[in-house]
Amino acid sequence: MTPQDRIELFDTSLRDGTQGEGVSLSVQDKLLIAMKLDEFGIDIIEGGWPSSNPKDEEFFKLAQSLNFLHSRLGAFGSTARKPDQIETDVNLNGLLKAECPVITIFGKTWKLHSEKSLGLSDSENEALIFNSVKYLKDHGRHVVFDAEHFFDGYKDSPEFARKMLLAAQSAGSDTIALCDTNGGSLPHEVFSIVEEVKQIVFIPIGIHAHNDGDLAVANSLAAVRAGATQVQGTINGIGERCGNANLISIIPNLLLKMRSEVCPQINLDKLTALSNFVYEILNLTPNTRAPFVGKSAFAHKGGIHVSAVLKDNLMYEHIHPEKVGNKQRVLVSDLAGQSNIRYKASELGINLDDHPELAKKIVSHIKHLEFEGYQFEGAEASFELLLRHEMGEYNPYFNVLDSRVHTEYDKEGHNTAHVMLKIEVDDEIEHTAAEGDGPVNALDNALRKALTRFYPEIARIKLVDYKVRVLDEKQGTRAKVRVLIESSDGENTWSTVGVSTNIIEASWQALFDSVNYKLFKLHSPEKESLPTP
């Protein structure tokens, strides 16, 4: 592969990505993401459309002070409105005013759009593209021409689409990006069309794919196979409608599967961190099943699979997860075998090789509990307590002798729960009462109040998430419920589970495990630290 064939990574998360439903970025958000993209090694960062809104104008002003180590900043806009009014065009001059080294402009390459949307003849549209690109080149900018709706346009009228590309090339465009704007093309179509374009276009070709057919990544890789050397996309595939091509999937496929050359500064082992960082800035929940970077991407549940990956992870993993900053996980469930239990035990520093019968016993116990409705995939703290108890290493730090819950409603419909609780710690009995906003909150308050004298450190524990799921809806109000509680001490988090036909009892089980787990970690002989989530 020659130097000019190195794949240029073009990120448009800050521009095209923000057009996605539910996606909103402040100026400060955009600056933070831009710096992270530069740190990762992206070649070109498209910051926005400076002439379209005040937020993007402010971003480009502040971005001048950013000290990029690897990336070049780009501004985005359209061709001029009229082919004979280039120098006075507000959009083009706004792009120049942004003072970015790279400018991307899009132009119509589908005859349908040129005629019906802009009302231009073929020659007028051709002149519009040529004059707009040339004006920006005359001002010393690196110009990327986005051939909008190119694949649909090419299939409709190859002659028209080719003319528009040649106009951009003749005007001095540095790269021509072929856009699958409607996202409906298939990989074999993209491959063959890019190959044909390569016969007449002699400057670098890029691909800008949308995901309306769930093929944006496949189409981008097909374009690279056919000779494209620039790939445009967004982090996590954000973007309008179904999103843009997902660079988080494209980059490892290029590097690990296609052996393509990209920016040497790319930190592939930071890929998962980059994905999660952008999700966090966007205040969006990460896709746990996302390829390469999702929490479930290298998670194994079936006992046969676990047994195999413990011998060689490549038996059921297409890459080593560490290459993209992810990690292998083994889940404990009713599908678990002894391999799952041994793996999870080893993570906790427990060697079950000397206790083969114990592993069998735990597997049987787990399967029974999951049949009853428990789920330990998302409640690993409860699983560890179960395992430690079977090993004889853990017993609860307190006993509940009596509990009563009473709920009152006032005339305005507000309710207050009152709890009476009697517990025993080291043969001492503590009898207390508390109230709260609902029975679970009242139980939580009462337990803390009762235990504080014995274990003051529990004051740091906070419930950060509480989930209830009805397990057998057809049973109506007699149905079992599963409660998952996530707790935190400000530094670490852990999750516990409870199951019962009584939602208060299920919540109490999860709460009981949560407090005991923290106490076990503080008071066990090893004084192990809590696992980092």
Which pLDDT tens digit goes with each residue over 344-392? 677 677 777 766 777 777 777 777 776 777 767 667 888 888 888 877 8
Question: Who's near 509: CB < 8 A, 6+ residues apart?
Answer: 483, 496, 497, 498, 499, 500
Q: What is the mean pLDDT of residues 117-146?
A: 93
Backbone angles phi, psi at 465, to 5 degrees: -155, 145
Q: What is the mean pLDDT of residues 268-295?
A: 90
For residue range 107-121, list pLDDT tens digits in order.
999 998 888 777 788
pLDDT of the residue at 310: 63
Q: Domain spans of the chain?
A: 3-266, 349-394+461-533, 398-454
β-bridge partners, 145 = 105, 176
- Going by pLDDT thresholds of 50, 70 and 90, the confidence category of residue 263 is confident
pLDDT of the residue at 120: 83
pLDDT of the residue at 529: 44
Q: What is the mean pLDDT of residues 491-509?
A: 87
DSSP 438: S
pLDDT of the residue at 2: 41
CA–CA dist 363, 337 (Å, integer): 6
Question: Amino acid identity of 115?
Answer: E
Q: Which CATH class is domain 398-454?
A: alpha beta
User: Residue 531 pLDDT more than 60?
Assistant: no
- Going by pLDDT thresholds of 50, 70 and 90, the confidence category of residue 198 is very high
CB of 77 closer than 8 Å to CB of 94: yes
CA–CA dist 445, 432 (Å, integer): 10
Q: Which CATH class is domain 349-394+461-533?
A: alpha beta
pLDDT of the residue at 382: 85
Q: What is the mean pLDDT of residues 332-337?
A: 48
Domains 349-394+461-533 and 398-454 share a fold: yes
For residue range 390-400, list pLDDT tens digits in order.
778 888 998 88
Q: What percent of the chain has pLDDT over 90?
A: 47
Query: pTM of the entire structure?
Result: 0.70
Question: Who's near 65: CB < 8 A, 6+ residues apart?
Answer: none
Of 64-68, 102-106, 310-314, 463-467, minimum mean pLDDT range: 310-314
- Higher confidence at residue 263 or residue 100? 100
pLDDT of the residue at 436: 82
Is the CATH number 3.20.20.70 carried by domain 3-266? yes
- Going by pLDDT thresholds of 50, 70 and 90, the confidence category of residue 278 is very high
Backbone angles phi, psi at 330, to 5 degrees: -120, 130
For residue range 424-483, list pLDDT tens digits in order.
998 899 888 888 888 888 888 888 888 988 998 888 888 888 888 887 766 666 778 888
User: Residue 333 pLDDT more than 50?
Assistant: no
pLDDT of the residue at 416: 81
Q: What is the mean pLDDT of residues 5-19?
A: 94
**71 to 39, 235, 266, 351, 455: CA distances (angstroms):** 8, 15, 11, 48, 53
pLDDT of the residue at 374: 72
User: Residue 3 pLDDT more than 50?
Assistant: no
